[in-house]
């Protein structure tokens, strides 16, 4: 199994073949004034077997079909990267997805939460890996370390429909498969909270090719090898999605507004409600610690601050060659699904949330912690990204 033999050396090699930071944002509120984020502010259940849902916007070049198995994400060529992004944000919350991953070496299926300042939480599947799924996270676009990823056992995710959940609060992130928790990240474990994902996020779903002819060798190896397009199409089915916005404990949220000079800590985010009132979660002591160092870490870790992320990555072939048509490549979707594997070497998509240079690896259950790479990062050199 490729995941068993991918060594640290290979990861480093992959890194040398990638451009720096693949993740990007249309507007980083820690660096300038940006529009408020529209809040979901409630719970919704989406059944993609009934067709397109207005909560999601298709990335440029994305054309989806819907059938009894849900939203059909299809890869026919290396530049395909169908992706959809929610047009509203959650500020902590629980997201539960029922999905059947796409098969095929080099094909990546992604489920990502991502914020305007590049906090990120991911699930991602490699088409040729029939025994496990990867989890990852980032904070402030920090990819200075690649020890955030982990693997978790799941049988034949390309043949079965399984339920993958992200439960995200100001205190922890939990990754859950079919009702069983397989990993937990606590606030303090993410470099004393400074790399803990904690700002309003969009939900991004997408599928892309990391094993195309123009993909760096390290990236293709991470993704299970070169893609054999004679076996196309490669199809992922996203069946149902349940989203609960915790709104940082505030009811009737309509918008999330970043305070001027925000350092990317959750206490600097104001929840605007329907009656026009505003409240924030800055009362927690954990917030102050994040505030003290979040900004400095963010600036140093993301010198390419406005670089894109996980799902936000589209295949490079489309951009590099300039042949990207309105779909797959260039727009390949601001989320161009790489879900989080952005890390060059470790392929960590958007930020090294947690465990900065020397912090201890995050404990996992039923999953061996690896050098932690994320689809986006690995896909870096081959993808073109854009934010919706």
CA dihedral 138, 141, 143, 146 (to 10 degrees): 10
124 included as an active-site residue: yes
In three-state secondary structure terms, 237 is strand
CA-CA-CA-CA dihedral for 38, 42, 43, 45, to nearest 10: -50
The residue from 124, 184, 254, 306 that is catalytic is 124
DSSP lists the bridge partners of residue 37 as 256
Active-site residue, selected from the candidate residues 120, 184, 254, 306: 120
Closest Cα to residue 378, out of 1, 13, 14?
14
Active site residue 120: yes
For residue 386, give the nearest of 40, 103, 81, 30 by alpha carbon: 81
Cβ 157 vs Cβ 103: under 8 Å: no
Rounded to whole angstroms, how far apart are CA atoms 20 and 306?
11
Question: What's the first-to-final CA gap in the chain, in angstroms?
Answer: 36
Rg (the chain; Cα; Å): 18
Residues with a known catalytic role:
120, 124
């Amino acid at each position: 199994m490729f995941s068993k033999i991918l060594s640290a050396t290979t990861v480093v090699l992959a890194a040398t073949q990638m451009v720096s930071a693949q993740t990007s944002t249309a507007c980083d509120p820690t660096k300038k004034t940006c529009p408020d984020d529209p809040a979901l502010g409630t719970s919704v259940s989406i059944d993609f077997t009934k067709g397109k849902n207005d909560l999601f916007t298709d990335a440029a070049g994305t054309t989806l079909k819907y059938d009894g198995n849900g939203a059909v994400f299809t890869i026919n060529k290396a530049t395909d990267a169908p992706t959809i992004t929610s047009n509203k944000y959650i500020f902590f919350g629980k997201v539960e997805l029922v999905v059947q991953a796409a098969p095929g070496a080099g094909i990546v299926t992604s489920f990502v939460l991502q914020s305007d300042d590049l906090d990120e939480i991911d699930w991602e599947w490699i088409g040729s890996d029939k025994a496990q799924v990867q989890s990852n996270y980032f904070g402030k676009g920090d990819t200075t370390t690649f020890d955030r990823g982990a693997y978790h056992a799941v049988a034949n995710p390309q043949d079965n429909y399984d339920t993958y959940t992200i439960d995200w609060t100001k205190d922890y992130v939990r990754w859950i498969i079919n009702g069983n928790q397989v990993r937990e990240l606590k606030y303090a474990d993410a470099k004393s909270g400074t790399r803990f994902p904690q700002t309003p996020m969009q939900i991004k779903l997408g599928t892309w090719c990391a094993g195309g002819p123009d993909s760096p060798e390290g990236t293709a190896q991470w993704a299970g090898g070169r893609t054999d397009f004679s076996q196309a199409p490669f199809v992922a089915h996203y069946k149902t999605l349940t989203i609960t916005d915790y709104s940082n404990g505030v009811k009737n949220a309509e918008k999330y507004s970043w305070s001027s000079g925000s350092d990317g800590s959750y206490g600097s985010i104001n929840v605007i409600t329907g009656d026009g009132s505003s409240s924030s979660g800055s009362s927690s002591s954990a917030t102050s610690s994040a505030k003290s160092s979040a900004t400095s870490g963010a600036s140093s870790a993301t010198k390419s601050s406005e670089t894109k992320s996980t799902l936000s990555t589209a295949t490079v072939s489309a951009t590099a060659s300039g042949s990207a048509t309105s779909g797959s490549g260039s727009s390949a979707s601001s989320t161009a699904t790489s879900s989080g594997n952005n890390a060059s070497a470790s392929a960590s998509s958007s930020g090294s949330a947690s465990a900065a240079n020397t912090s201890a690896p995050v404990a996992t259950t039923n999953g061996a912690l690896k050098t932690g790479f994320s689809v986006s990062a690995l896909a870096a050199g081959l993808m073109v990204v854009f934010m919706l």
